[in-house]
Every structure is written in structure tokens, then in C-alpha cells.
């Protein structure tokens, strides 16, 4: 059955796989690595634009390693999961300094790079260097779970052992890159999460899920933990002529090294008619007689384990010094990397200002 699966998969890939992506067939390990990091937690459709932007801005690992961190984070803006970007920067510098700008060519060395796990290491090793390591992503887990009727939940410690073993047994050792690309494309285009194309699937004859009508049951996934809810209220305060206050986020919280306006975070949603009476304003700035000029609608951003709700409040009076914040002119805001939620608001900010 295993030999039959691999033969049919490779034949399908050769004759019917029309899936096109700019990094497909690429052998440059830098470009493969870049595409794989971008595609972590990102849809292919969204990732393509960022991949093309990064290749244009940083054609080589040397270009990426030399670029200012703020600039790279700005180019990453909107992709989310910013630890990926920080690891990208760290790894680029390590490849330049430790390996003389040559991407390491063994699985063990690749796996040791920051931000690279077994899946990404297998992808780079097989696509760039032809090494026999099977990739196991969500597409691959779905194909294997359905074909072999595996009820072990994906993402569990047991599942993380079972699926790589099966994938490596199926792997076509003579061309592991072609096999890995084929099985991922097969999961994305044929064995889809919803409404898989079983009627035209070359594997349907031996697929347990197809024969037993289990495609809606497999793969088994554990229920995701409930997300933490956070409410962030951002005050936009003038810092002089055409300038406002912003700061860089530090520490180990979300959005590290990104920028934000003056923040007040609370554990609950505050009714709009109560925002005018925020104790926060008096505590921070004393009796300055602030008046609210504008309160935005609610903005939302969902992260892996958190859901953020935000509102933006424009105040009428300038403040000439705020510890921990820096004054930035309005026309310079676009040079700073912001979380997507704030970046979306900045697009309409000029139309709200009456300064």
C-alpha cells in the first residue's frame, strides 16, 4: 500500500499538479528558508506578496543581515507572529557570521538555526540539498490521517511521533523534494480540509476515510484552548506641531519591538460614555482639562492565544513630555512598524485630526 501511495502521488504530481507558487522548484536555500518562515501561520495567498517584497528588498542573506531591524519589521508589518521576523533577523546574522554567508547544508545544522523546527529543516534539506527528510505540515497530516485511517489527534505528543514516521516511510528517497512538494500540494488542492475531491482522487481506492466516509472526522484535532481577552485603549496626544507621542513595545509581551500610541489596558470593555472619565488621564497628566475630540470604532485582532479589542481616543491638548514615549511627526509614522490593528487605524488617522 505504501509503495502504491508514493507511485500514485508522484504520477499525479507529474501529470496533474498545476499549483503555482513563486518559490516552487526553487533550489536556493535562502529563498526556500524565507518562504517557509513567511508561510508559518500564514495563508499562501497572503504569503506570496510578502515573499516577493522580501526578495526584492533583500535578494541575499547578506542583504537581510545588514538591513536595519526597524526596516525589516516594517516590511513584515501585517503578517503577525513577529517572533518569526525576529528569528529571521537573528538567523540571517548567524549565517553570515558563522557560516560565511553560505547556508548550512546538513539537517542538523539547519535545525539548530533560530526559528527553524523539524518541518522547516526538512523542507530546506530536501528542496535545496536533496536530503531524505519528509516534511510534515497540516496538509501532510490530513492526507496521512485519512489515507491510513489514523485517529490519533494531530498536534499531540503521540501524533508528532506517528505522522513523521509514516511520512518518512513513504518518502521517495531518490527525489525527496519532489515527493514533499507533491504531498503538500495534494493536501492543499485534492485532500482539502472541507469538501475533499474524493471523486477525482488517485488515492481514493485505498483511502480509509474515503471508503468509510470518515473524511469529515479525520484528522482528529483537540479543541483549542479558550483565548485570553484583552482590551487596549490608545490615546493620541499631540507632542508639538504636527507631532504625536509613540513608544516601542519592550519586554516579553506581544508585539515586542513594534510601536504604539499611549496605552491604557484594562480587563474589560469600557462603555464609550465612560471613556471621558478615565482616571488614567488624570493620573498620567494631572488636571490639564483634556477634552476628547474623537473616539474610534472598535478594532479587533486575533492572535494564536489572545483576542485584542482596541479603541483610539484623540485628545485636544498637547503634552510636552511623556516618559517612555517619543514625539514623531505625522508624516514619519509610516516609517515605524506597528501591529496590524494600529496600522489599520493609522490609515484613517489624518482624516480625524483637527490640529
> Which residues have a catalytic role annotated?
36
Q: Residue 32 and residue 27: Cα distance in Å, rounded?
A: 7
* Residues 6+ positions from 82 with CB-CB distance below 8 Å: 73, 76, 255, 256, 257, 258
Contacts 24+ apart (CB under 8 A), 50-59: 50/75, 50/76, 50/79, 51/22, 51/23, 52/22, 55/31
Q: Strand, coil or helix: what is 308? A: strand
Which triple of cell numbers denotes residue 134?
519528509
Q: Residue 337 and residue 165: Cα distance in Å, rounded?
A: 41
Residue 267, judged by CB atoms within 10 A of its CB (0-12, 13-18, 19+), counts as exposed
In Å, how far are 83, 177, 275 from 299, measured between CA atoms?
23, 42, 16
The widest CA-to-CA distance across the chain, in whole angstroms, is: 78
Beta bridge partners of 313: 235, 295
93, 68 contact by CB (below 8 A): no
Amino acid at each position: 500500500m505504501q509503495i502504491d501511495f508514493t507511485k500514485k502521488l508522484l504520477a499525479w504530481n507529474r501529470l496533474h499538479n498545476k499549483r503555482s507558487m513563486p518559490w516552487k522548484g526553487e533550489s536556493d536555500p535562502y529563498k526556500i528558508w524565507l518562504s517557509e518562515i513567511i508561510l508559518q501561520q500564514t495563508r499562501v495567498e497572503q504569503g506570496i506578496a510578502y515573499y516577493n517584497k522580501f526578495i526584492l528588498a533583500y535578494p541575499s542573506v547578506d542583504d537581510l543581515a545588514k538591513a536595519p531591524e526597524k526596516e525589516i519589521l516594517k516590511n513584515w508589518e501585517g503578517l503577525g507572529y513577529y517572533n518569526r521576523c525576529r528569528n529571521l533577523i537573528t538567523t540571517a546574522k548567524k549565517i553570515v557570521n558563522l557560516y560565511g554567508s553560505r547556508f548550512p547544508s546538513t539537517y542538523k545544522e539547519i535545525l539548530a538555526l533560530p526559528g527553524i523546527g523539524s518541518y522547516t529543516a526538512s523542507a530546506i534539506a530536501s528542496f535545496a540539498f536533496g536530503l531524505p527528510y519528509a516534511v510534515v505540515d497540516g496538509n501532510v497530516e490530513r492526507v496521512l490521517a485519512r489515507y491510513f485511517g489514523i485517529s490519533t489527534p494531530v498536534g499531540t505528543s503521540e501524533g508528532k511521533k506517528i505522522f513523521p514516521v509514516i511520512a518518512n516511510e513513504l518518502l521517495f528517497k531518490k527525489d525527496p523534494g519532489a515527493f514533499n512538494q507533491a504531498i503538500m500540494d495534494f493536501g492543499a488542492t485534492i485532500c482539502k480540509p472541507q469538501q475533499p475531491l474524493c471523486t477525482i482522487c488517485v488515492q481514493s481506492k485505498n483511502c480509509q476515510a474515503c471508503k468509510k466516509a470518515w473524511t469529515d472526522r479525520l484528522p482528529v484535532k483537540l479543541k483549542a484552548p479558550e483565548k485570553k481577552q484583552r482590551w487596549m485603549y490608545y490615546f493620541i496626544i499631540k507632542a508639538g506641531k504636527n507631532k504625536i507621542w509613540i513608544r516601542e513595545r519592550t519586554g516579553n509581551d506581544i508585539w515586542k519591538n513594534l510601536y504604539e500610541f499611549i496605552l491604557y489596558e484594562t480587563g474589560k470593555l469600557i462603555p464609550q460614555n465612560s471613556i471621558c472619565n478615565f482616571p488614567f488621564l488624570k493620573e498620567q497628566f494631572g488636571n490639564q482639562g483634556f477634552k476628547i475630540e474623537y473616539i474610534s470604532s472598535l478594532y479587533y485582532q486575533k492572535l494564536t492565544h489572545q483576542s485584542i479589542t482596541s479603541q483610539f481616543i484623540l485628545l485636544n491638548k498637547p503634552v510636552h513630555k511623556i516618559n517612555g514615549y517619543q514625539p514623531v511627526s505625522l508624516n514619519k509614522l509610516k516609517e515605524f512598524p506597528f501591529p496590524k490593528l494600529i496600522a489599520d487605524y493609522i490609515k484613517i488617522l489624518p482624516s480625524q485630526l483637527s490640529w
